[in-house]
Amino acid sequence: MRERWPQLPFSTSPRSTRTEPARVDDPTLEIRDGEFVVIVGPSGSGKTTALRMVAGLEEISEGTLSIGDRVVNHVPARDRNIAMVFQNYALYRHLSVFENIAFGLKVKRLARRVIRRRVQQAAELLELSDFLDRKPRALSGGQRQRVAMGRAIVREPSVFLMDEPLSNLDAQLRVHTRAEIGRLQRQLGITTIYVTHDQVEAMTMSDRVAVMRSGRLQQFAPPQEIYARPANAFVGGFIGSPSMNFLEGTIQRSNGDISVLLGDQRLALDASVLEQRPLLGQYEDKEVIVGIRPESIHDGALVPEAPPEGLLHGTVELREALGPELFIHFSAPQV
């Protein structure tokens, strides 16, 4: 399955229930068959609006949305062969787990034996076989989430859409369920688009990550590429925990070597940096933003052979001991 997201600006239908119509501008994505893509961004970035457009729950005003070779802009949601897992599970409280999972199949008027077979297969896959007679109120949050996933799985859709499905779970259960969703997606091989504001989920679950901000796509790439080579300062600061450190500086060249002037401090850039980013030479005497990942900063006292221009001086303001990790907050004066 290949999905081409609209290549022109498009916005939600006036029928949207939002007080402010959400807008998504010019996202162009091609999602491969069987791929797990995570759309990540802060609140209001347009990620859920984009997902709802794929689902057919929001109208596309311009552009083209295709599933495979089929343009589905005006195809009703029920005819897109898409299954969506919502943030609040959207379970029917008066129905049993079996009835909740089977609901969509009954609407399609499938044979009872087919419904029972599909529900039982999904229940075994999700370890829900012992809970089929229970009502949702008798289940834990994680079990309810699995029921919602079971209801999506039995439909045998072309695409799974997941809208922040883990946000209502506690931290420990969220980690466990995150691993379960990844395992299920790999086992089923169904193309999945997953929306979250949690960059840890984006990094650990996805084949590729789409980072959005204010309705615009910032970068679409494998998670490690986004981490190592962010497209801009927003992506660099949003992806990573703790986040990237940013300093304002000026690129300078001396005797063929390049360094960055950070206030009254000079930081030399070694040859490997220049090999990876040869365009830096074009920024001589220009102001730049220097991004440094926390793990790239080392205590100078432990590196006695470091040259003076390889050291960054600052004032320690806070220490946070987190068991196996120690976070040091410091300020580097800039003039």
Question: Backbone phi, then psi, for 267, in 5-degree steps?
Answer: -120, 115
Quick: pLDDT tens for 87-144.
888 899 999 999 999 999 999 899 999 999 999 999 999 999 999 999 999 999 889 9
Identify the CA nearest to 159 among candidates 51, 87, 28.
51
Q: Which of 192, 209, 238 is the last residue of a domain?
A: 238
Q: Are residues 153 and 28 in the same domain?
A: yes
Could you tell me the pLDDT band of residue 12, with boundaries at 50, 70 and 90? very low
Counting the structural domains of the chain, the total is: 2
Q: What is the pLDDT of residue 333?
A: 67
Cα gap 154→119, rounded to integer Å = 6
**Paired sense of beta strands 287-292 and 245-254, if any:** antiparallel
pLDDT of residue 2: 41
214 Cβ contact partners less than 8 Å away, ≥ 6 residues apart: 44, 45, 46
Same-domain status, 219 and 295: no
According to DSSP, the residues that pair with 2 across neighbouring strands are: none
CA dist., res. 54 & res. 27, Å (int): 12
DSSP symbol at 314: -
**Which of 214, 238, 262 lies at the terminal end of a domain, its last residue?**
238
pLDDT at 235 over 50: yes
Q: Which residues contact 134 (CB under 8 A, 6 or more apart)?
A: 96, 97
Concatenated DSSP letters for 6-54?
-SS-EE--TT---SS--EEB----EEPTT-EEEEE-STTSSHHHHHHHH
Partners of residue 325 on adjacent β-strands: 322
Distance CA 35, CA 126 (A): 21
Residues 10 and 126 in one domain: yes
SS3 for 228?
helix
**How confident is the model at residue 9, as a pLDDT?**
33
Residues 172 and 220 placed together within one structural domain of the fold: yes
Question: Are residue 32 and residue 102 in the same domain, yes or no?
Answer: yes
Minimum mean pLDDT among 11-15, 135-139, 218-222: which range?
Answer: 11-15
SS3 193: strand
Comparing CA positions, the residue from 120, 186, 98, 180 lying closest to residue 145 is: 180
pLDDT tens-digit map of 299-330: 877 777 766 677 888 888 999 998 888 888 88
Stated pTM of the model: 0.83
Which of 196, 221, 238 is the last residue before a domain boundary? 238
Give the tens place of pLDDT for each residue, 158-217: 999 999 988 888 888 888 889 889 998 998 999 999 999 999 999 999 999 999 999 999
**Residue 184: CATH number of its domain:** 3.40.50.300
CA distance 78 to 59: 14
Residue 257 sits in the same domain as residue 231: no
* Domain interval for residue 91: 3-238
Domain co-membership, 223 together with 259? no
| Angle, in degrees to the nearest 10, between helices 112-125 and 141-153 | 140
Model pLDDT for residues 263-290, shown as the tens digit of each residue: 888 888 877 777 778 888 788 889 989 8
Contact 147, 128 (CB under 8 A): yes
Residue 11's pLDDT band (boundaries 50, 70, 90)? very low
Q: Looking at residue 296, which CATH number applies to its domain?
A: 2.40.50
Pairing outcome for strands 191-196 and 245-254: unpaired
> Same domain for 162 and 47?
yes
Same domain, 137 and 32: yes
Other CB atoms within 10 Å distance of the CB of residue 107: 9
Report helix, strand or coil for 307.
coil
> Nearest 5°: phi and psi at 125?
-65, -35
